[in-house]
Every structure is written in structure tokens, then in C-alpha cells.
Amino acid sequence: MKALIIWPKFDSFSFWHFEKVCELVGAKYMTPPLGLLTVGALLPQDWDLRLVDENVRDLTEEDLAWADLMLVGAKIAHRKRAFEVIARGKAAGLPVAVGGPDPTLSSQFYKDSGADFLVLNEGELTIPMWLADMANGATSGTYETDELADLSKTPVPRFDLVNHRDYLYVGVQYSRGCPYHCEFCNVIDLFHNKYRTKTLEQVLAEFQCLYDLGYRGQLDFFDDNLVGHIKQAKPFLRGIAKWGKEHGWPFMHSTSVTLNVARDPELLDLLREARFKALLIGIETPDEDALRAAKKQQNLGFSIAEATDAIYRRAGASVHSGFLLGMDGEPDDIRAQIISCIDATSVPWVMPSVVYPLPETGLAKRLEKEGRLFPKARVTVSAEVRDQISAGIMFETSRSPLAIVEDLLAIMKHSFDAKNYFSRVASVSARLNTIPVLMPSLYLLKRNVRAFLRLSWAMTSNGETRRPFWSAFWKTLFRNPRGIEGLATLSILYVHFLSILPFCYEQLELQRDEIKAEGDEAWIARNLAEVVEAPCPKSAAPAAVFSPPAPDPRPAASA
């Protein structure tokens, strides 16, 4: 069997597509599709597999002619392109299977598109069901289960199916799920609020596989929360630090954690020892009432600024964070609170947005029950909405929608003003108690030097960034030379922001102007009454969720 595995192209105009960063560094895309590499390991090993990541190269007619079967993975942001890919597969006469988080949570769209096979939930459980049915001659079917996979049986992903030099970094996975109950997060709906992990030995086997393939550089743990069980996480971190030391530190790491890691000094020390360079942390809001309403109690009871400072100084990692507007219970002065929080924490890369009611989340279900969910929130995730930031408001908010959009624009313009951004970069870089990973390979060293030279030219040739960038650079060099590694990464990210912010501003300003013209109440009433067709062409045919989903991409932790 010749199986063609497709990862659809990510929209270049999305906030989550780091196209300009890839161009500057000399990569084609951020990271290989870990879920589909895992799918490859779950398929029969006598099958001939070909993985096409459309972010790296186009799907060709030769690919379609070669294949006996097409498998398509899809996250929410891929939906529109996934339908197009599926249509090509069906036109070529191929049976098509589609999987991933979006088909699992929004299966009706994929059923309506004419999929041959829908392989839902976790692939470790449903791929064997699908394969057994195919062996008995099945030509269509839906495969799903309420059970959760035993991750200790998950095989090493097929890292050999991609060229790692096409990417900024490579993803691995230790855990799935999160023990918390944040209302706006779909992780608990995908995994029934169960937190599971692989064994240390499994992860080290993946490390060894990548090491033997010649990969050196950043490994991003695609975990929803790496430290969901802190007592379990500590020996795991000790184990990967030991492996790294024995192998000459070929990798540096990044991942997602919760802000309360800052309350455990030993855990911060272990993150530093294991060479974690960047942590994605949902601060969300400094307002305690809004945090309680969103069921994010883990961020309560301590100073956010002191917590981030502890992470910089003790873990030696930069913090990247989301900030949300529009949550029930937030006060009218939330704009000032968030701006003050961003400045006090010095978080350079902030992701401000109106809270988005992702399908099947507690938030979406509650808003639906209360009659507050806009119909377009159910169907336009990728047809019209490219990311949560440019989406704006997708439900009836408790505060004035005009005030919320204006607050969001003000927070974004403050945060991404060059002077403010690089002031925060300098503040973080001067405090980063990191352990530099300077030369994991000659290739990576050359790539980083080339990227920094390109960065320096890009910052110097732009009149708005010239002085702020070089001021941050010299402050870091004199105060904390080890922070230069972090400064380079955070500065490269600004190239991305410069490329995508005009689009985000344009979309938000359009929504603001609509609300101004109609008035708050009329605008909300129109959006609640709007009839929206599902963006799913009947000619397309998708199929299954055979892959463990990965969170939204994080930045590279080195230049």
C-alpha cells in the first residue's frame, strides 16, 4: 500500500504562520507535523509512506498518481485548505481519510464533505480499528472511541519522513491533556480532562532517534502542560538533563507550562538544567474576577510580575503569553490593567485577543446555552477567520463590544510599538540566567550567525527599529552577555510581528467601524441573527483524527 500523508498549508496571513522568521533564518517552515509522523509509526510498517507538508512543498500530480490512499491531518486553522486537498484526492480517485483535532471536535463538517473514512479521537486506538475494517474490504466508515490511549504504548514517530533542515525546530511530546479546567480551552474536551504521559525511556528513545538522524537544535515539547503533574515532571526533567549532558547538549527545549511553576524553585532549577529556553504561559488577564469566571484559578494568589521575574532569573527562560479580553467579569479599566501587566512582567511576545469560543469548549457550550454565541463562530474558523487575534468578537459580550475592540487595538499598538517592545526585550535579556547552547552543530552555528546578520540589517534599515534594537543589544551585552541568545530570538520574532500586524489591525478596525456605525446593541443583534452556511464543499471528502494534536506553534528558542 502506498499511503500519501498530507499536512495542509497553513495560511500565510495567520498570526501563527512565522513565514518571515523562516525566511530570515533560512528554513521553509516552523516545525514538522508531529501528529502525522506519529501516524506514520502507527501504520503497517510494510506500507510505502510519503509525507507531503504543503508548508514545505506543493502537493503534485505525481504524488497523487503514486498513491493508493490519501491521509489528511487537520487542525482548526487548516479546515478550508484541508477541504481543497481532500477534493484533489477524490478527483484523483483515491480513498481519503482525514484526522486531527478539528475532525474530532467538528466531525459534521467532515462528514458533510464526503469523507471515505473518519478516524477520530486518538490514533493509537482508532487507527487499528480502521486498518482492520479496511482489511475486511470496507470502503468507508467512522472510527471513534470514548477511551483514551495508553501513551506508554505510543511508538517513536517516523522522524525519517521529513528533512529536518526544512524547519526551524522539531516537536516531541511527553504528555497529553491538562489537569486544569480553563473554560476557553479545548484541550479538556479533546482528552476528557485526563492528563497522561509517556515514560522517560520513550522520550529518550525519540531523542536518540533524532540524534542518530543528525538533528541538532531546538526540540519543542508539544505538550498542553509539561508539568501537569509536578512530582512526576521533576524526575523526567532530571532524566532529559542527564541524557543531554551525556550527549554534549545537542538539543535545547521549549514548551507550555502554567504560571504557577514559579512557586516551585526546584522545578525552575530543573527547567534551567534541562536547557528550556522559552515557555508559553497563559497569563490571560491580571483581573482576578475574570480569571475566576474563566475557571483559571491556578493564576490566582501570587504576583504575576514576581512570577515571571522568577522564571527569567531562576529557570533562565523567556516567557511568551496570551492576554484575553471580553471575558465575563472583566472591569471597564481592563485595558489599563493589561498594559500595566505587560510592562511589569516585561513579556515581549504577547498574544492579545478577544477570548475565542472554540468548538466544544465549555465557553462555547455555555454561550450557546445562553443564546450569546454568534452563528459564524460555529463555522468560519478558517474560511473567514485566520486566527483568534484578527477574529475579533464572536459572541455577545458582557461589556460594550466597541470598548473591547478599542481596548484590544490599544493594547496591541502599545505592546508592539518598537520602543516598548525592545525595552521589554532588554529587560528580559538582562535577567535571563540561561545556560547558552552555542554550538550543537556547525550547521546550526552557521545558520544562527547568518540569521543574526540578516536580523541586524533588517533592524538597522528600519528607522523605527534601529535605535530600540541596538539599545537593547548593547544593554544586554554589557549587563548579561548570556542573554544575547534570548535577545536574538525575541528580536527575530519582531520581524514576524511587523509582517502580520497590519492585517490584524485592518480586520479589527473593520469590526470597530461596523460597531460604531450600527451601535453596540444593533451590531450584536445582527450577528446573533446572521445565517451562516458551513464552509464545506460537498465535493470534498475528508477523513480521520488519527494523530495526537499539537498546540499552536511556539517561536524558535534560538536565532
Query: Is the Cβ–Cβ distance between 190 and 104 less than 8 Å?
Result: yes
Lowest model confidence (mean pLDDT) among 108-112, 419-423, 433-437, 461-465? 108-112
- CA distance to 206, 283, 351, 420, 459, per residue, from 331 (Å): 47, 17, 20, 25, 38
- Look-up: residue for cell 475557571? 295
pLDDT number for residue 107: 82
The span from the CA of 123 to the CA of 291, in Å, is: 34
Domain shared by 138 and 234, yes or no: no
**DSSP per position, 257-319:** --GGGGG-HHHHHHHHHTTEEEEEEEEE-S-HHHHHHTT-GGG-SS-HHHHHHHIIIII--EE
**Closest residue by Cα to residue 492 from 16, 10, 18:** 18
Lowest model confidence (mean pLDDT) among 108-112, 126-130, 350-354? 108-112
Confidence of residue 558 (pLDDT cuts 50, 70, 90): very low
pLDDT number for residue 385: 53
Query: Is the Cβ–Cβ distance between 402 and 354 less than 8 Å?
Result: no
The span from the CA of 439 to the CA of 441, in Å, is: 5
Query: Is the Cβ–Cβ distance between 4 and 66 less than 8 Å?
Result: yes
Residue 348 covered by a domain: yes
pLDDT at residue 553 tops 70: no
Structural domain ending residue among the three candidates 95, 110, 143: 143
Cα diameter, the chain: 69
Interacting residues of 272 by C-beta distance below 8 A, sequence separation 6+: 314, 315, 316, 317, 433, 434, 435
Q: How many CB atoms lie within 10 A of CB 105?
A: 20
% the chain with pLDDT above 90: 74
Domain shared by 136 and 269, yes or no: no
pLDDT number for residue 552: 44
Lowest model confidence (mean pLDDT) among 9-13, 24-28, 511-515? 9-13
What is this structure's pTM?
0.90
Domain shared by 130 and 277, yes or no: no
Domain shared by 227 and 335, yes or no: yes
pLDDT number for residue 537: 47
Lowest model confidence (mean pLDDT) among 217-221, 244-248, 498-502? 498-502
Domain shared by 104 and 240, yes or no: no
Residue 209 covered by a domain: no
What is the 8-class DSSP label of residue 161? G
Phi/psi of residue 219, nearest 5 degrees: -115, 120
Residue 306's domain spans which residues?
216-355+385-431
Confidence of residue 389 (pLDDT cuts 50, 70, 90): confident
More confident position, 409 or 384: 409
Lowest model confidence (mean pLDDT) among 103-117, 239-253, 265-279, 330-344? 103-117
The span from the CA of 337 to the CA of 300, in Å, is: 15
Lowest model confidence (mean pLDDT) among 111-120, 130-139, 207-216, 331-340? 111-120
pLDDT number for residue 469: 98
Query: Is the Cβ–Cβ distance between 308 and 260 less than 8 Å?
Result: no
Show the cell assigned to 557.
528558542
pLDDT at residue 545 tops 50: no
Domain shared by 85 and 226, yes or no: no
Domain shared by 98 and 232, yes or no: no
Confidence of residue 114 (pLDDT cuts 50, 70, 90): confident
pLDDT at residue 488 tops 60: yes
pLDDT number for residue 132: 97
Confidence of residue 28 (pLDDT cuts 50, 70, 90): very high
The span from the CA of 308 to the CA of 448, in Å, is: 27
Across residues 82-96, what is the average pLDDT?
94
pLDDT number for residue 17: 73
Residue 405 covered by a domain: yes
Residue 300 covered by a domain: yes
* Strand partners of residue 30: none
Structural domain ending residue among the three candidates 431, 446, 463: 431
Query: Is the Cβ–Cβ distance between 256 and 225 less than 8 Å?
Result: yes
pLDDT at residue 315 tops 90: yes
More confident position, 376 or 427: 427
- CA torsion sign for 485, 316, 173, 193 is negative
- Supply the CATH number for residue 106's domain: 3.40.50.280
Domain shared by 238 and 328, yes or no: yes
pLDDT at residue 193 tops 80: no
Residue 94 covered by a domain: yes
Structural domain ending residue among the three candidates 81, 109, 143: 143
Domain shared by 226 and 107, yes or no: no
- CA distance to 391, 531, 533, per residue, from 380 (Å): 10, 12, 9
The span from the CA of 247 to the CA of 433, in Å, is: 22
Domain shared by 78 and 224, yes or no: no
Residue 16 covered by a domain: yes
- Beta strand 175-176 with 196-197 is antiparallel
**DSSP per position, 477-519:** HHH-GGGHHHHHHHHHHHHHHHHHHHHHHHHHHHHHHHHHHH-
Confidence of residue 18 (pLDDT cuts 50, 70, 90): confident
Residue 262 covered by a domain: yes
Domain shared by 38 and 137, yes or no: yes
Across the chain, mean pLDDT equals 90
166: three-class secondary structure by DSSP = helix
pLDDT at residue 13 tops 80: no
Buried b / exposed e along 388-402 (16+ C-beta atoms within 10 A): bbbbbbbbbbebebb
Query: Is the Cβ–Cβ distance between 322 and 351 less than 8 Å?
Result: yes
pLDDT at residue 550 tops 50: no
Domain shared by 400 and 265, yes or no: yes
Domain count, the chain: 2
The span from the CA of 495 to the CA of 226, in Å, is: 28
Residue 260 covered by a domain: yes
More confident position, 163 or 295: 163
Model confidence pLDDT, tens digit, residues 280-311: 999 999 999 999 988 898 999 999 999 999 99
Interacting residues of 346 by C-beta distance below 8 A, sequence separation 6+: 308, 312, 424, 427, 428
